[in-house]
Amino acid sequence: MTAMTAEISTAQPLVSLKDMVEKTITSNPEVQARYHKFLEAGYEQEVARGNFLPDANIVSTYRKQEEMIKLNNGTATPRMNNELVLRQMIFDGFATSNDVKRLGHTSRVRYYELQSAMQNTTLEFMRAYIDSLRYRELIQFAKDNYVVHKQLFDRIQERVTAGVARKVDLEQAGGRLALAEANLLTEMTNLHDVTARMQRLYGDLPPDTLEAPTFFNGGVQPSAAEALKLAYLQNPDLLAAMEDIQAKEKEIKTSEARYMPRLDLQARKNLGTSSDGENSNAAADVLELTMNFNLFNGFSDSNLVKQSAERLNGSRDLRDKACVDARQIVSIAYNDINQLAVQRTYRERHTTSIENAREAYRRQFDIGQRTLLDLLDTENEYFQSKRSLANTQYDLQVAYARVYAGQGELLRKVGAARGNLPEYSREEYMDAENVCQAVAPVQIIVDKEALLANAKPLSSTYTSLAKP
């Protein structure tokens, strides 16, 4: 009873995949850096919005001025003066309004960059998570394979010692045993490395028990073109590029504001006194409207507009790059899903056939129709078939994760989310800026019947071997 209680008390609680992903996207340093960039962009917009409001300043001056005429009426210019200045921008060529809009789009750029970082980090985490499950299973296969090879090696060694088997058989069995040990060490190393990957992303060592993922049960769209259409609507890198185009367009308008006059309303109240304690004539309150119209500043304004225009062209190029990148990612991953699903069927058939042959070889060995080396051959092929089937199954899960990440769907498929983030609706200008074409490469399908019909007949040697 005591032993059972101790075992239960030391067992780790099961941590769900959803909880692990949410911990990753809220504590991973790369994601956190993007999150703070997003917050920074929001404050930057508020800084620009402050230009709509008045600013108040107290200006203190100390003056040493030569007096040409001695004044005795108490209106001398004060040596020390304090002045309250209140200034309100009336018109600045819409520079402030366009700058606020630009920074609003920039904030959305940072938001989608954060979403991209979360999707990519989740994808990287899912790769490590699935690989952890993969190598834990492959280690068990390698252990079983090693045990069988060691048992068969010992039996062959007994037969060689008894003089009923050849020494070369023992050498061959020893080589197979060494390979089985090497395979076991390889899988253990792979598990160690993938555990380090998970620790980097997750922040802690993974638990001993990992939940079997089910995020891929929803499947994918019936065609690659439809999968691409969804990616073009939701891929965060593409959305960030389209928001950046809007930001650069507003930047051009902000630069063009330099061609317009600026109007400011300014109020000044002089708080200073003259050196003899009397108020000076400079103490009068002033309310004035000022206009500043730049006539020439060395072509800086026109070059600034051209610079902003080139930035806009660069943003459009990055938008096009995001299109082709999303198309490549989703197209390849979508095709991998289809091909791996078919491969899984063949590998299951192969594993079943080899397992049946393995059992038949064991029965034939019992009646003297097979040697121990024959058993080693079937055991090795059975081990390789199980490894191939397991790798195919886990590769299929990774392919689903890659498609979902390319579509901006991976977090939702896992059921994870990060709190305290706004939800932005899709704007009309995104549809206008979306120039991506949902055209995916066509997978080549081999006509097996035509392939066999056009094949050369077997040579006479193979034909004679095929005859009973």
* Dihedral sign, Cα of residue 22, residue 23, residue 26, residue 28: negative
Q: What is the CATH number of the domain that holds 37?
A: 1.20.1600.10
Q: Could you tell me if residue 465 is inside a domain? A: no
The pLDDT tens digits of the residues spanning 280-337 come to: 555 567 899 999 998 888 899 999 999 999 999 999 999 999 999 999 999 999 999 9
**For the whole model, what pTM was predicted?**
0.87
Q: Which residues pair with 289 in a beta bridge?
A: 265
Q: What is the mean pLDDT of each run of 10 residues along the chain (468 residues)?
A: 40 79 95 96 96 92 67 60 90 95 96 97 97 97 95 89 82 92 96 96 93 93 94 95 96 94 91 54 75 90 94 95 95 96 96 94 86 87 96 97 96 94 88 83 83 78 55
Number of domains in the chain: 1
User: What size, in residues, is the chain?
Assistant: 468
Residue 442 has a pLDDT of 84
Q: Which residues are CB-neighbours of 190 under 8 A, at least 6 positions away?
A: 131, 135, 138
Alpha carbon distance 21, 106 (integer Å): 27
Q: For the chain, how are helix, strand and coil distributed in percent, rounded to 5?
A: 70, 10, 25
Terminal Cα-to-Cα distance of the chain (whole angstroms): 65
Alpha carbon distance 56, 83 (integer Å): 11
Alpha carbon distance 320, 238 (integer Å): 9
Residue 87 phi/psi, 5-degree rounding, is -125, 135
Residue 75 phi/psi, 5-degree rounding, is -115, 30
Residue 306 has a pLDDT of 95
Strand order in the sheet with 262-270: 55-62, 80-91, 262-270, 286-292
Alpha carbon distance 262, 304 (integer Å): 18
Segments forming the whole domain that contains residue 370: 15-61+78-415+428-449
Q: Could you tell me if residue 349 is inside a domain? A: yes
Q: Could you tell me if residue 421 is inside a domain? A: no
- Candidates 297, 267, 272; CA nearest to 282 is 272
- Candidates 414, 236, 223; CA nearest to 337 is 223
- Candidates 337, 339, 340, 342; CA nearest to 227 is 337
Residue 7 has a pLDDT of 39
The two structure tokens encoding residue 88: 């309100």
Residue 12 has a pLDDT of 55
Q: Could you tell me if residue 7 is inside a domain? A: no
Q: Could you tell me if residue 1 is inside a domain? A: no
Q: Could you tell me if residue 468 is inside a domain? A: no
Q: How many CB atoms lie within 10 A of CB 202?
A: 20
Residue 421 has a pLDDT of 92
Regarding beta strands 262-270 and 286-292, do their DSSP bridges make them parallel or antiparallel, or are they unpaired? antiparallel
Residue 368 has a pLDDT of 80
Q: Could you tell me if residue 311 is inside a domain? A: yes
- Per-residue DSSP letter, 53: S
At 37, which amino acid appears?
K
Q: Are 216 and 397 in contact (CB under 8 A)?
A: yes
Alpha carbon distance 302, 331 (integer Å): 44
The two structure tokens encoding residue 314: 């660069």
Q: Could you tell me if residue 140 is inside a domain? A: yes
Alpha carbon distance 70, 76 (integer Å): 9
